Amino acid sequence: MKTIASIVGARPQFIKAAPVSRALASHFNEVMIHTGQHYDYEMSDLFFKEMDMRQPDFNLGIGGGTHGAQTGTMLIELEKVIATVKPDCVLVYGDINSTLAGALTAAKAGVPLAHVEAGLRSYNRTMPEEVNRVLTDHVSSWLFCPTDAAVQNLEKEGITKGVHQIGDVMYDALLRNLELSRNKSQILKRLDLKKGEYALATVHRSGNTDDPKNMRSVLDALGSLPIRVIFPVHPRTRSRINEWGFTVNSNVSLIEPLGPLDILQMQENANCILTDSGGMQKEAYLLGVRCITLREETEWVETVSAGWNSLAGVDAKRIKSLYETWKPNGERPLLYGDGHAAEKIAQILQNELN
Ligand code: UD1
């Protein structure tokens, strides 16, 4: 049996890795390496537990630090693990620093690389994620794209070999986790919420959280909405809010980060989702909840053209006005595959590696 080394590090990757890992199990020996980029219980262990994933084989414990130090340390430590494991393929997900570190490690070690969620572009190079995804795609042998737009983006950069449009593994994950979350999550009861009577907000992109003007504007926008707003706060966002001494209007509840099952219930029952997260823009679409994106651009352009996602940036007036006046137009075509993206990845890799 061939060995695949999967590298994960942060929340959205655990969600993507769960279905892929299950699909790989019958074809490959999978060695999972957690870089430790996310390390709080609510940001990491809770995900493995609630999605019923086995524990990673290695945890490198590399969290925090500047982007360069974090990525560089990961590269040093990953190289050692890859030299020990000697995988036939390295598998990375998405666009975070752990993705780039994994991609560079594979490239330097001469191990073929597979990238899940390839081809996404915001065309905004000030985002660390954009740099991570462009570089990762350019050293990948297999590029698993979730959408046609992603395939076209790669074509524009001259990448056509090894490209597969297989749908989105996040849709696979959602189909499985939604049932579990409906049965198990008590979050609405715990927070005393009713369907459609609250908005859900999340903010963690450095462009928003690391600029006091932008962060203040987002908090003002949420505070101006005529509805209760539940805002599970990412640790980086929490530390900036504390550092700047920002307060919020009483309609906004800042709560701890939520696990994958609670967040799905919060999303499914929200009147509106306001977020700068990529994953939540898609989940909002798949769940039929309108999404106001707190960025000027998105990689998930099809959610906007389908009429369910509206790009608002951080301007408080624009956000409030969209909240009050904008409603999606109804139709939700299937944009993210058939819920079997993970199995397609396993099948393609099996054909290619065996
Ligand atoms: C990272 C990804 C982002 C992704 C996000 C998901 C990069 C460049 N960004 O951003 O694309 O959408 O994960 O959440 O890789 N921290 C904790 N506890 C944790 C995790 C982080 O306190 O469990 C702190 C870190 O010490 C750091 C800050 O939060 O000070 C930011 O964490 P970091 O891992 O650098 O990036 P994210 O903002 O989570």
Pocket-forming residues, ligand 1, beta carbon under 6 Å: 10-12, 37-40, 43, 63-64, 95-97, 128-129, 204, 234-236
What's 83's DSSP letter? H
Say how many Å lie between the CA of residue 94 and the centre of ligand 1. Answer: 14
Say how many Å lie between the CA of residue 37 and the centre of ligand 1. Answer: 7
Q: Choose one of 236, 295, 298 to mutate for the ligand 1 pocket test, by most ligand atoms within 8 angstroms of C-beta.
A: 236
CA-to-CA separations, 15 to 46, 59, 175, in angstroms, rounded: 11, 17, 12
Q: Choose one of 42, 95, 96 to mutate for the ligand 1 pocket test, by most ligand atoms within 8 angstroms of C-beta.
A: 96
> Alpha-carbon distance 277 to 219, whole Å?
16
Say how many Å lie between the CA of residue 40 and the centre of ligand 1. Answer: 10
> Alpha-carbon distance 170 to 45, whole Å?
19
Can you give the pLDDT at residue 330?
A: 78
Looking at ligand 1, which atom is closest to the CA of residue 128?
8
Question: Phi and psi at residue 82, in whole multiples of 5°?
Answer: -65, -35
Looking at ligand 1, which atom is closest to the CA of residue 209?
38
Can you give the pLDDT at residue 244?
A: 97
Question: Phi and psi at residue 197, in whole multiples of 5°?
Answer: -105, 15
Does domain 3-168+337-353 correspond to CATH entry 3.40.50.2000?
yes
> Alpha-carbon distance 223 to 242, whole Å?
17
The structural domains of the chain, with segments of one domain joined by +, span 3-168+337-353, 176-325
What's 225's DSSP letter? S
Looking at ligand 1, which atom is closest to the CA of residue 96?
15
Does domain 176-325 correspond to CATH entry 3.40.50.2000?
yes
Among protein residues, the one with the nearest Cα to ligand 1's atom 33 is: 64
Among the listed residues 89, 6, 93, the one whose alpha carbon sits nearest the alpha carbon of residue 55 = 6
Say how many Å lie between the CA of residue 194 and the centre of ligand 1. Answer: 31
Among protein residues, the one with the nearest Cα to ligand 1's atom 25 is: 64
> Alpha-carbon distance 4 to 352, whole Å?
12
Can you give the pLDDT at residue 329?
A: 81
CA-to-CA separations, 54 to 5, 32, 48, 49, 77, in angstroms, rounded: 14, 9, 7, 8, 22
**How remote is the C-alpha of 269 from its chain's centroid?**
20
Can you give the pLDDT at residue 139?
A: 98
Say how many Å lie between the CA of residue 277 and the centre of ligand 1. Answer: 12
Can you give the pLDDT at residue 354?
A: 85
Say how many Å lie between the CA of residue 101 and the centre of ligand 1. Answer: 15
pTM over 0.85: yes
pLDDT in tens, the chain (354 residues): 999 999 999 999 999 999 999 999 999 999 999 999 999 999 999 999 999 999 999 999 999 999 999 999 999 999 999 999 999 999 999 999 999 999 999 999 999 999 999 999 999 999 999 999 999 999 999 999 999 999 999 999 999 999 999 999 999 999 999 999 999 999 999 999 999 999 999 999 999 999 999 999 999 999 999 999 999 999 999 999 999 999 999 999 999 999 999 999 999 999 999 999 999 999 999 999 999 999 999 999 999 999 999 999 999 999 999 999 999 987 999 999 999 999 999 999 999 998
> Alpha-carbon distance 173 to 279, whole Å?
11
Among the listed residues 44, 68, 34, 115, the one whose alpha carbon sits nearest the alpha carbon of residue 345 = 115
204 counts as catalytic: yes
Among protein residues, the one with the nearest Cα to ligand 1's atom 27 is: 64
Measured between alpha carbons, how far apart are the two ends of the chain, in Å?
Answer: 9
Q: Choose one of 104, 234, 276, 298 to mutate for the ligand 1 pocket test, by most ligand atoms within 8 angstroms of C-beta.
A: 234
Looking at ligand 1, which atom is closest to the CA of residue 277?
12
> Alpha-carbon distance 147 to 151, whole Å?
7
**How remote is the C-alpha of 239 from its chain's centroid?**
21
Domains 3-168+337-353 and 176-325 share a fold: yes
